[in-house]
Amino acid sequence: MPLSLGEAARLLAVSPRTIRRLIDTGELSAVRIGPTLAVPVDALPTPLRRCFDAGQPQALLTLHEAAARLGCSPRDVRERTASGLLRSVLIGGSSRWSPIEI
């Protein structure tokens, strides 16, 4: 099931412009459906695909959203990620965290 660029942007917690840039650089694949580009679900990062396995798609979390869920500071989230306690995915130069893993 392909996602619109807007929906892919929402789920990856980035802008639609970032999605287009990732497609242009080849970091993300897209298919053309008529005049519209769409992102296949299996082209998404593994942590987001796991979010689909849980039923309803859940958007990846930004640094501040992850910190709020964990009840800690953004610095603590960065430190936990650097030490391997948390896994993040790099999208367009920004780290994002799976809500399922938080």
pLDDT at 52: 67
Q: Where are the domains of the chain?
A: 2-97
pLDDT at 58: 80
16-39 pLDDT, tens digit per residue, is 999 999 999 988 889 999 999 999
- Amino acid residing at 85: L
- For residue 64, the tally of other CB atoms under 10 A from its CB is 11
pLDDT at 2: 86
CA dihedral 76, 79, 85, 90 (to 10 degrees): 110
pLDDT at 41: 84
Q: Please, are residues 98 and 61 in contact by the beta-carbon 8 Å criterion? A: yes
43-93 pLDDT, tens digit per residue, is 777 767 776 665 677 888 999 999 999 999 999 999 999 999 999 988 878
